[in-house]
């Protein structure tokens, strides 16, 4: 078990923040040996790590994180780094790159606010909050090029629709995985990581190739 000083050193959080997390029910109550000597379970380090990740990368409020913790039985006795890596990859990576404000984006691409709002409303662009990272800018550049060349955007709309449907199923799978206590938790998380990042694009791309081949050859595969 950890004293407050050791917990502060391990997490980089302030004492007041840790006490606030305890008050809000995000952290278990410490074992109170003396009025000024409180001991925290080792797993508290992992809990704080995940709280900070949700706050920094998803801008979640404390209430939102409480709901996530309530609806998912995280096994904090195991290291959460694999889970964070999975969330990182799905969400496009940690927010450690350069960010651009809306005005900078409009100026960089010389586009109107109305056009940017259109892409946002259609969910072709999904920035985190009001700021855009380099990946968002790459996608915006592609969208503008497609619009310039009069590419049919029905495909983009279908991508969004399919992605939402898949996201629901992926969330259910992830939640079931978290609730399932197992000694091979890291292995199971890696499996989910591989399914989403390897199997999903494999199926999508292979089906595209099969359809092109079928049309060219005129044969049913």
Last residue of a domain, one of 28, 47, 71: 71
Which of residues 183 and 36 earns the better pLDDT score?
Answer: 36
Q: What average pLDDT does the segment 48-75 reach? A: 81
Domain of 5, CATH number, reads 1.10.1660.10
Domain count, the chain: 2
Range of 137's domain?
76-221
Note whether 156 and 49 are same-domain residues: no
R_g (Cα) of the chain, nearest Å: 22
Q: CB neighbours of 60 closer than 8 A, spacing ≥ 6?
A: 54, 68
Q: What average pLDDT does the segment 80-95 reach? A: 64
User: What is the reported pLDDT for 121?
Assistant: 95
**pLDDT band with cut points at 50, 70 and 90 for residue 106:** very high
Instruction: Answer yes or no: are the C-beta atoms of 119 and 157 closer than 8 Å.
Output: no
The CA-based angle 72-50-47, given to 5 degrees, is 80
Instruction: Answer yes or no: are the C-beta atoms of 51 and 26 closer than 8 Å.
Output: yes
Note whether 57 and 133 are same-domain residues: no
Note whether 92 and 67 are same-domain residues: no
User: What is the reported pLDDT for 34?
Assistant: 79
User: What is the reported pLDDT for 193?
Assistant: 72
Note whether 204 and 97 are same-domain residues: yes
């Amino acid at each position: 078990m950890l004293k407050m000083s050791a917990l502060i050193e391990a997490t980089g959080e302030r004492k007041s923040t840790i006490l606030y997390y305890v008050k809000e029910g995000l952290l278990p109550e410490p074992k109170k040996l003396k009025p000024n000597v409180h001991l925290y379970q080792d797993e508290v380090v992992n809990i704080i790590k995940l709280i900070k990740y949700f706050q920094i990368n998803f801008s979640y409020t404390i209430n939102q994180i409480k709901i996530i913790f309530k609806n998912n039985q995280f096994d904090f006795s195991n290291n959460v780094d694999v889970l964070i890596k999975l969330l990182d990859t799905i969400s496009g990576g940690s927010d450690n790159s350069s960010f651009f404000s809306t005005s900078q984006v409009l100026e960089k691409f010389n586009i109107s606010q109305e056009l940017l709002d259109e892409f946002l409303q259609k969910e072709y662009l999904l920035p985190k909050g009001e700021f855009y990272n380099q990946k968002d800018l790459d996608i915006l550049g592609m969208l503008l090029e497609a619009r310039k060349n009069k590419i049919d955007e029905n495909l983009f709309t279908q991508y969004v629709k399919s992605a939402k449907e898949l996201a629901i199923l992926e969330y259910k799978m992830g939640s079931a995985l978290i609730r399932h206590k197992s000694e091979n938790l890291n292995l199971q998380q890696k499996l989910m990581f591989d399914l989403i990042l390897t199997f999903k694009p494999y199926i999508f791309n292979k089906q595209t190739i099969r359809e092109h081949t079928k049309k060219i050859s005129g044969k049913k595969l």
